[in-house]
């Protein structure tokens, strides 16, 4: 198949996306597909008259390592030059229309909040992963947590704060966690243990977004549950246990090799494993997701499984969790990518 792997973009998770996109492109090429990596924001200049020729690519791409700090998006905008108000670069739509399917290797921003999915729906572009409504519901943490609560899925108590809203230093019990409402990769996240630090953490979060979630701090084992399937046929992958070597599971711990121990299957009982996996599938369905996602939990010593969020385009980098879970179930990285493509095309066959 001719496949566009769409990565990059203007999200703070741009570098993570480029790492994911590089690995996915190479994996699909190893499976015999004509896969090309395209940057959503930078686009492609000088498209050939015969777009089929754009998919002729030999060999493997060099690996892309995620730097320790989030990217300078102003520099990315400047690199493209004028007209950067449009978030979709030149030639992107034309290539995606010419492809058999577009593999979304994007993280955050318009690539994961449902905007791009809706645009592709209107543009007759087939893409991998969940539909626009599922992406929109999952990306908005306040909305997804409300849906979890309505479905009887335990989630940490929370409140929403918005830029310009007057706040008192002690407006939420400490310890607590401050995070952007639609962010990812732990960018802008602060664990607050001192009441005097709460407003500072809120102001830090507002650097990334105008709406924040402040939620109850839950101490427990960090777990991730991948869900894979199409339509009503879903399966939860083996759970993975996340053990950061320093502090919490922040941007550096997620993408710097050796900073975190990832143990799969997680070191919990079979009963607790089944409980968390069932909750992951329930969360997946509550958010109207499809094909694949990763659902994150905290498991307290008392056995309380607290659902944090669902990631509709989970990382596929060298340190990412979903590929490790899939491998434990017998699905290697390249086969996982091809399965995602197959399930995604199956979604269109059922329409």
Task: Specify whether domain 138-154+219-349 bears CATH 3.30.470.20.
Answer: yes
**Residues near 1 by beta carbon (within 8 Å), at least 6 away in sequence:** 33, 34, 99, 100, 101, 341
Instruction: Provide the whole-model pTM.
Output: 0.90
Q: What is the DSSP string of 30-47?
A: HTT-EEEEEETTT--SS-
- Sequence spans of domains, the chain: 2-127, 138-154+219-349, 158-216
- The residue assigned the tokens 């905007």 is 115
Q: How far apart are CA 286 and CA 229, in angstroms?
A: 15
Is 158-216 the same fold as 2-127? no
Residues in contact with 155: Cβ distance below 8 Å, sequence separation at least 6, in sequence order: 145, 148, 149, 306, 307, 308
**CATH number belonging to domain 2-127:** 3.40.50.20
95-127 per-residue burial string, b: 16 or more CB within 10 A, e: under 16: bbebbebbbbbbbbbbbbbbbbbbbbeeeebbb
Is the separation of the CB atoms in 159 and 146 below 8 Å?
no
Say if residues 96 and 6 touch (Cβ distance below 8 Å).
yes
- All residue ranges of the chain with pLDDT < 50 are 84, 249-255
State which H helix or E strand residue 118 sits in: helix 115-122
CA atoms of 83 and 147, how far apart (whole Å): 39
CATH number at 158-216: 3.30.1490.20
Residues of the chain by 3-state class (helix, strand, coil), percent to 5: 35, 20, 45
DSSP annotation of 127: B
Q: How many CB atoms lie within 10 A of CB 300?
A: 13
Question: Cβ distance 169 to 188 under 8 Å?
Answer: no
The pLDDT, as a whole number, for residue 247 is 55
Work out the widest C-alpha separation in the chain, in whole angstroms: 63
């Amino acid at each position: 198949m001719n496949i566009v792997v769409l990565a990059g973009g203007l999200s703070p998770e741009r570098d993570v996306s480029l790492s994911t996109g590089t690995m996915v492109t190479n994996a699909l090429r190893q499976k015999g597909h004509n896969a090309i990596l395209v940057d959503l924001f930078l686009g492609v200049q000088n498209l050939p008259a015969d777009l089929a020729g754009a998919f002729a690519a030999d060999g493997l791409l060099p690996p892309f390592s995620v730097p320790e700090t989030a990217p300078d998006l102003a520099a990315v905008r400047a690199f493209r030059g004028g007209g950067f108000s449009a978030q979709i670069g030149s030639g992107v739509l034309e290539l995606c229309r010419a492809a058999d399917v577009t593999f979304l290797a994007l993280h955050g921003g318009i690539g994961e909040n449902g905007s791009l999915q809706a645009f592709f729906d209107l543009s007759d572009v087939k893409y991998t992963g969940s539909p626009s409504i599922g992406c929109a519901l999952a990306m908005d943490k306040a909305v997804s947590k409300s849906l979890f609560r309505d479905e009887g899925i335990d989630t940490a108590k929370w409140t929403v704060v918005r830029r310009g809203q007057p706040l008192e230093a002690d407006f939420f019990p400490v310890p607590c966690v401050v995070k952007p409402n639609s962010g990812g990769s732990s960018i802008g996240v602060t664990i607050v243990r001192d009441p005097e630090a709460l407003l500072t953490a809120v102001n830090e979060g507002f650097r990334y977004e105008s709406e924040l979630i402040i939620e109850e701090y839950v101490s427990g084992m960090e777990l991730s549950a991948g869900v894979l399937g199409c339509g009503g046929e879903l399966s939860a992958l083996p759970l993975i246990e996340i053990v950061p070597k320093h502090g919490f599971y922040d941007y550096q711990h997620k993408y710097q090799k050796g900073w975190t121990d990832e143990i799969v299957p997680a070191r919990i009982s079979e009963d607790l494993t089944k409980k968390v996996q069932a909750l992951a599938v329930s969360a997946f369905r509550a958010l109207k997701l499809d094909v694949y996602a990763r659902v994150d939990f905290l498991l307290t010593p008392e056995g309380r499984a607290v659902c944090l969020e669902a990631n509709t385009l989970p990382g596929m980098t060298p340190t990412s969790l979903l590929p490790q879970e899939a491998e434990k179930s017998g699905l290697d990285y390249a086969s996982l990518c091809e399965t995602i493509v197959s399930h995604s095309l199956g979604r269109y066959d059922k329409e």
